[in-house]
Amino acid sequence: MTLAVKFLGRVDYEPTYAAMQAFTAARTGSTPDALWVCEHAPVYTQGLAGKKEHIFNPGDIPVVATNRGGQVTYHGPGQVVAYPLLDLKRAGYFVKEYVYRIEEAVIRTLLHFGVTGHRVAGAPGIY
């Protein structure tokens, strides 16, 4: 499997989100999977489960609605974000299995550094 890693530096969220959508829309069966690594200027992303009342006082920080799962996530300088742009069908994974595998990798990585991470039923992610 070929994975094209792209280091974007500090980029605004909205154009990066649009570029990921364009990448996915243009993907063919031979498009290599990609991993985009970056950090963002301060932004709140509001997923499909997010509600306006979940953001108490955003101040000057923009709130961007997305078509992704989850509620509200803050991104900002110093926080490294890695966006895997994968063809899960080609890899033979369903979304839930893929998320489980990422969570397991995070748990094992944290353990390597002496940090305990765990799953919470009904709340994807590691806590």
Given this model, what pLDDT does residue 57 score?
86
Q: Is the pTM of this model over 0.95?
A: no
Q: Over the Cα atoms of the chain, what is R_g?
A: 16
16 vs 22: CA distance, rounded Å: 10
Residues 15 and 59 in one domain: yes
Residue with tokens 């353990």: 111
36 vs 38: CA distance, rounded Å: 7
Residues 49 and 60 in one domain: yes
Residues 47 and 98 in one domain: no
In terms of Cα–Cα distance, which of 28, 20, 13 is closest to 84? 20
Contact present, 74 and 58 (Cβ < 8 Å) = no
**What's the average pLDDT block by block, 10 residues per block, for the chain (127 residues)?**
90 96 94 96 89 85 88 91 93 90 94 94 83
Given this model, what pLDDT does residue 61 score?
94
Given this model, what pLDDT does residue 1 score?
64
Residues 18 and 65 in one domain: yes
Which residue segment(s) compose the domain that 53 sits in?
3-91
DSSP H stretches of helix in 1-127: 13-26, 88-91, 95-112
Grouping H, G, I as helix, E, B as strand and the rest as coil, residue 119 is coil
